[in-house]
Structure 1
Amino acid sequence: MTTTYVIDGAEITGLESFWKVIGEAVNGPGGYFGSNLDALADCLTGGYGTPDDDDFVMEWRDHELSRRALGQEETVRQLERRAQRCHPDNRAAVLRDVERARAGEGPAVFDRIVEIFEQQVPGSLRLR
């Protein structure tokens, strides 16, 4: 039997709220299901609340609201934060990514999330 988890896109206002919404959708109030893109990939394949047999669907309702909230502006914000925290050897590359994102180039955070779902568990994400 397929388990369906519902992500309420109307509750997503940025990446931090995405982590809260998906964590609670999968694991209940206060639940965890990643706190960065690498952790999301791990959660999708590592059994962190999802069925071990991969028989689940993530239904992302009002995903267009989320697409806007996790668009280029949020992408720039997240990359700027990364540039402040990353190793000095990596800072120039991250700052180039910031400039590309400011110019509207490259994938937005929303696009990266969708890409991770498709890479880790193809067909499990339903955008509604």
Structure 2
Amino acid sequence: MTKTYVIDGAEVTGLDAFWRVIGEAVNGPEGYFGRSLDSFADCLSGGMGTPDDGDFVIEWRDHETSRRALGQQETVRRLELRLARAHPTNKAAFQEELDRAKAGRGPTVFDWLVEIMEERAPGALRLL
């Protein structure tokens, strides 16, 4: 039987809120299901609350509200944080990505999350 996890898009006001909402959807109050893009991808690969057989669906309700909250402004904020911590050899690439985001171009945080879900759990995401 397919297990369904529900994300209430109205509660996703930024990336930190997304980590809380997805963690609680999968693992209950104060649950963990990633706190970074890499750890989220790892969690989607299994063993962190989802069924071992991969038979689950993530139903992202009111995803358009989340799309706005995880849009260009949040993307710029996240890229600025990454740039500040980047290894000197990676700074130029992060700066280019940040410049594109500031110009309103390129993928957003919402796009990053959807891409990870589609890559690690193909067919599991339902945007409602």
Q: What range describes the TM-score normalised by the shorter chain of this pair?
A: over 0.9
> What is the deviation of 1:39?
1.0
Checking the alignment, whether the CA contact within 8 Å between 2:46 and 2:54 is kept in structure 1 is no
Aligned-partner residue type, residue 80 of structure 1: E
- TM-score, reference length from structure 2: 0.97
Quick one: which amino acid aligns to residue 8 of structure 2? D
1:94 matched to 2:61: no
Match of 2:105 in 1: 105
Instruction: Output aligned runs, 1:1-128, within 5 Å.
Output: 1-128=1-128
Residues matched between the structures, number: 128
Amino acid in the other structure paired with 1:6: V
Instruction: Please give the TM-score of this superposition, normalised by the length of structure 1.
Output: 0.97
Identical aligned residues as a percent: 69
Root-mean-square deviation (Å) = 0.8
How far off is 1:46 after superposition?
A: 2.8
- Counterpart residue identity of residue 67, structure 1: R
Letter in 2 for 1:124: A
Asked whether the equivalents of residues 27 and 33 of structure 2 are also in contact (C-alpha less than 8 Å), the reply is yes
Instruction: Report if the CA contact (8 A) 2:5-2:56 is conserved.
Output: yes
1:40, CA displacement in angstroms? 1.0
Q: Which runs of 5+ in 1 are unaligned?
A: none
What do residues 24-66 of structure 1 show as CA deviations (whole Å, max 9, x unaligned)? 0000111110111111110001310000000000000110000
Q: Amino acid of the residue matched to residue 55 of structure 2?
A: D
Unpaired segments ≥5 residues, structure 2: none
For residue 112 of structure 2, give the secondary structure of its aligned residue in structure 1: helix
Q: CA contact under 8 A between 2:72 and 2:102: conserved in structure 1?
A: yes
